[in-house]
Each structure stands twice: as structure tokens, then as C-alpha cells.
Structure 1
Amino acid sequence: MNFNHLHYFHVVAQEGTLARAAKRLNITQPTLSGQLKQLEEHFGHKLFDRASGALRLNANGRKAFEVTQEMFRLSSRLDDIFPGRDAEPRVRLEVGIATTVGRSFAVERFITLFKSQRILTRVRQGDHEYLFHELLATGLDLLITDSLPHRRKERGTDCRKLSSPEFVVAGGRKFVSSLKEPTIEGLHGQPFIHYTSHSAYRFEIDQYLRQKRVEPRVVAEADDVYVIRDAIAANIGAGVLPRGVIEESKNSRQFQVLATLERKFEIYALFSKRDPSEEVLTALEILAGAGGSGPC
């Protein structure tokens, strides 16, 4: 075992796949796979669970990752103590955004970190459950999501409630023009692209529609706001979206807003409650300053 073995393991744990890790390390996937195999043989234990191309830290891997995190954190401090290289080291901040949260919601709030010469903020989007597992496995520093995981505090995470985006009921202009009435009431019996039962939005939207005494015909379900936006743009039916997701579209004029939901949906920032880094605390302050936040 040598330093490279541990460095390669550390990067794979952060990236989650051999492909992404190999690209970051500028080596081939077979070389990286071989190095991981040697390290696992050295310890006599598997460090990852392998499924569908993804590598997830198992219990042994999480123990090893705790050590390598400290190793490379100290290594970074040595670079700070003995400057002189052409480029100063940058601290990585790994941020995951659930697909049910519009990218613009987080991007607007992380723009200050994007400009930082000291912090390299890396944002990736994915399924909430997968990203939460990454947070638990310390592959993520922050998770922006609309759902609070079950028994999150017992699992070592804390959260900050963030200001919520405004949600609207919208349809493509061609679709809306076909309605007898271009209002929320005009959607009764009409095609509707809904969120799945796994989404925190589903229950609230159903409650809203019941209050309006409107029962649209659900023709498709998705948890990705951009899938729903594209379906609406194709005039398949109406749906509920964050207003910002419509406004960031290149062809925002092809949408017509039928109503604004009175109730705002909560967005949360999840993080490890055990010794959060300075970068995580900085990011939380930026998120809080974007419109108010508080404890969950």
C-alpha cells in the first residue's frame, strides 16, 4: 500500500463511479480498478458495494474514508503553510441537488462560492435517496432537497430550512388555448403531468386542487421538474413548477401561468452535524442570506 492507493480510493469515494474518478485523476479506468483491488486485498476487506456502475462505500469503506478525509485535509494545510506553487490549493465543496429542486434555486444562491478562488464548488443533481446516501457516506458536504429523510438526526445529519421558491400552475400556450377557460378551474378533466407519490410536492398539490374543486386527468408522473417542464412545453398537459424553472427556460414565452399556489414548498439544506467544515457553514450562511431560513 502506498499514498497513491489511498488517494485513488479517496477520489473514487467522492465521485461515486470509476468513470468520474478516472477522469478527475487523468488515468484509465482499468488502472484505477486495479489500484482499488490491490488496496482491498491489502486490507482483506471490500470497501465498496458495486451496483449498476456505481460504487457506494460500505461500512469498512466509510471507516477508511474518515481516515483519508483527515489525511488529505492535513495535506492541504501543509500546502497552506508552505506556499510557493503557481496555483493555490482549492478546497472542494461537494453539493448535491435533488431533481425535484430547480437548479436555478441553488445556483442563484451559490454564485458567491462559484466566484471564490479558495473554494471549488461542485454541484451535481440526482435522486434524493441516492444523494442522501452519498451524504451519509461523506461523499457530499451539502444536500439541497425538498424532503426530510426519516430519522435523519439519528443518522447523523442536521438541516437548515431555506426560503421557498414560488410554485405556479402552468401549461403550454397551445394547450391553454384549447381550454374552455384559461384558469385553474379550466383544468377539470384535462391532461395533467403530476409528481409521483415519492415527492413531497404530491400531497400539497392534491390538497390545493381539492380546495379548488378541480380534478385533472393525470397522464404522466415524474419527480424531475425539468421533465415536467419539457412535457408542459410540448403541450401534453398542465403541471405545477417553480416559477424560476419556467423563467430560466430559453422559450419561457411558450408557457402560460394559470394560477399561483398560495402555499410555498419548503427547501432544505442537509449536512453532517458532526463537525461541519468552514466551507459548509459559509455555504449555509449564503443560502440563509438569500431570503431567510431557520432550523428544521
Structure 2
Amino acid sequence: MNFNHLHYFHVVAQEGTLARAAKRLNITQPTLSGQLKQLEGHFGHKLFDRASGALRLNSNGRKAFEVTQEMFRLSSRLDELFPARQSEPRMRLEVGIATTVGRSFAVERFITLFKSQRILTRVRQGDHEYLFHELLATGLDVLITDSLPHRRKERGTDCRKLSSPEFVIAGGRKFVASLKEPTLEGLHGRSFIHYTSHSAYRFEVDQYLRERRIEPRVVAEADDVYVIRDAVAADIGAGVLPRAVIEEASNRKRFHVLATLDRKFEIYALFNKRDPSEEVMTALEILAGNDTSGSC
């Protein structure tokens, strides 16, 4: 038995699940589970009752917790005596961003999260389906996406609306100059970089074009708005992009906006509904910014 065994036990007792405790301690769940088993083996008694993924202190665990509470109260007191000491982040916040979401909309909001000395925020990008699976498996705390999964509430997730970015149809300057007329109607039969059928944008864009009887020729499909932006800048064809993604580009003068879509594209933050941590709720408030639309 050593100090780490007792510290891990103390954090699990506070958090109630291995998943939350592992994130707070910045270690893997198997490592944490193994340390708890070693401690229980040392004492010769179980310290938790395990049920439905939760860990609850039994009578032996409550006795041990009384001691560790006093231990770590004194430990905190020692930290207060040496204020110059730089403490490590107490909680790890795992955030995923679907590739269909422009990163620019949340850059300033992420900076606010990064400044926190209490939370270590880790951001990664990937396919929506993969990241949603990670959210369900507690590998993610928050998923930022443009798609609301089917039966998400039955699977224990909730969401918060973050923003409604403006989308435009744009082409590169040379491509637009090659059109019979530099308008949306000039795209009929011409090259178009589209979203795949996995994207929530695909249906809305198709509807928008169909209502105007415009049928461009799809030459490529992608779900990453930055891939589409680079293809448009290379004059491969026109594409639908968040206006902010064009405006943040260093070569934004190469783009010509043909139309602004009258469709509303929402960006959401998904999270596990059952007992979300204080850090997750704080992160949702920061990421929502000035948007007051609230829950989905």
C-alpha cells in the first residue's frame, strides 16, 4: 500500500464511478481498477458495492474514507502553505469535434477553457459516428456536431445548441469567371464539391438547389469543411461553406460568394445526460457563448 493507492480510492469514493475518477486522475480505467483491487487485497476486504456501473462505499469503505478525508484535508493544507507550487489539472475534459463542423466558430471559446488551471481540456476531431460512440463509451465528455443522432435520448444523451452559422455557396475566382453568368443559376451543370450522405448538410443543400431547379455536377464529396474550402480555392468547383470558414482563410480574396443559404444549420454539443460533471456543465456554458437558445 502507498499514497497513490489511498489517493485513487479517495477520488473514486468522491466521484462514484471509475470513468469519472479516471478522467479526474488522468489515468486509464484499467489502471485505476487494478490499483483498487490491490488496495482491497491489502486490507482483505471489499471497499465498494458495485452496481450498474456505479461504485458505492460499503461499511468497510466508509471507515477508510473517514481516514482519507482527514489525510487529504491535511494534504490540501500543505498546498496552501506553499502557494507558489504549480498544481496539476484536477480534471480532464475530453471534447470531440465532428469534421463537418468548422473549427473557427469555437476558437475563442476554447481558449477560455484552455486558460483554466483546474481543467485539462483535450480536443480532437473525427467522424461523427466514431465520436458519438466514444461519447456513449465515456471516452468523451462533450461532442460538438451538426447532427443529432436518432434515439439519442433513449441512449442517455442530451444536447445544447451552440450556434447557427451562416452558410454560403462560393467558388474560386477563376471558376466563377468561367461560368456563363457569375450567379447561382450559372452553377447548373457545372462542377460542385458536395457533402456526403452522412452529413446533415447534404439534404438541406439538395433541397435548396432543387427548389431553384439547379443541378450542378458533383465531382467530389467530403465531410470536412476545410477540405471543401481548399478544393473551392483550387477552382475545382463551387461548394457550400460556413461564411466564417471563408473569412478566416488567408487567401479569402480568391473566393466569390454566389449566394447565401436561407437554411438554418445548427451546431450542437452532445453530452451524457446522467449526472454530468460540474466541469462539463461549465464547458457547455462557455462553448454556448452568447447563444441563449438553450437545450435542444
> Normalising TM by the smaller chain, what interval?
0.7 to 0.9
Amino acid at match of 1:87: Q
Q: Structure 2 CA distance, aligned partners of 1:118 and 1:237?
A: 46
* Residues 194-227 of structure 1: CA deviation (Å, up to 9, x unaligned): 0011110000000111122211000111111111
Q: Structure 2 CA distance, aligned partners of 1:264 and 1:103?
A: 18
Change (3 A) 1:240 1:10: same
Amino acid at match of 1:89: E
Q: Which residue of 1 aligns with 2:174?
A: 174
Q: Which residue of 2 aligns with 1:87?
A: 86
Verify the 8 A CA contact 2:164 2:265 in the aligned structure 1.
Answer: yes
State, as a whole percentage, how many aligned pairs show the same letter.
75
Q: Which residue of 2 aligns with 1:259?
A: 259
Pairs aligned (count) = 248
Following superposition, the deviation at residue 10 of structure 1 comes to 7.6
* Residues 76-132 of structure 1: CA deviation (Å, up to 9, x unaligned): x87756524721231221110000000111223222212222222211100001111
Verify the 8 A CA contact 2:19 2:138 in the aligned structure 1.
Answer: no
The two structures have a TM-score, normalised by structure 2, of: 0.74
Verify the 8 A CA contact 1:163 1:290 in the aligned structure 2.
Answer: no
Please show how residues 47-126 of structure 1 align to structure 2 within 5 Å: 63=53, 82-83=78-79, 84=82, 86-90=85-89, 91-126=91-126
Verify the 8 A CA contact 2:162 2:289 in the aligned structure 1.
Answer: no
Give the secondary structure class of the aligned counterpart of 1:223: coil
Q: Greater CA radius of gyration, 1 or 2?
A: 2
Q: Structure 2 CA distance, aligned partners of 1:114 and 1:256?
A: 35
Verify the 8 A CA contact 1:161 1:293 in the aligned structure 2.
Answer: yes
Q: Structure 1 CA distance, aligned partners of 2:232 and 2:88?
A: 44
Q: Structure 1 CA distance, aligned partners of 2:248 and 2:123?
A: 18
Amino acid at match of 1:249: A
Verify the 8 A CA contact 1:95 1:122 in the aligned structure 2.
Answer: yes
Change (3 A) 1:126 1:81: farther
Q: Which residue of 2 aligns with 1:227?
A: 227
The two structures have a TM-score, normalised by structure 1, of: 0.74
Q: Structure 1 CA distance, aligned partners of 2:223 and 2:249?
A: 18
Verify the 8 A CA contact 1:163 1:267 in the aligned structure 2.
Answer: yes
Q: Which residue of 2 aligns with 1:281?
A: 281
Q: Which residue of 2 aligns with 1:199?
A: 199
Give the secondary structure class of the aligned counterpart of 2:202: helix
Amino acid at match of 1:116: S
Q: Which residue of 2 aligns with 1:216?
A: 216
Unaligned runs of 5+ in 2: 9-17, 39-51, 56-67
Runs of 4+ with >6 A deviation: 1-4
* Residues 34-73 of structure 1: CA deviation (Å, up to 9, x unaligned): x97xx6xx99xxxxxxxxxxxxxxxxxx95xx76xxxxxx
Q: Which residue of 2 aligns with 1:293?
A: 293
Give RMSD over aligned pairs. 3.3
Amino acid at match of 1:280: V
* Residues 165-198 of structure 1: CA deviation (Å, up to 9, x unaligned): 1111011111111111111111010000000111
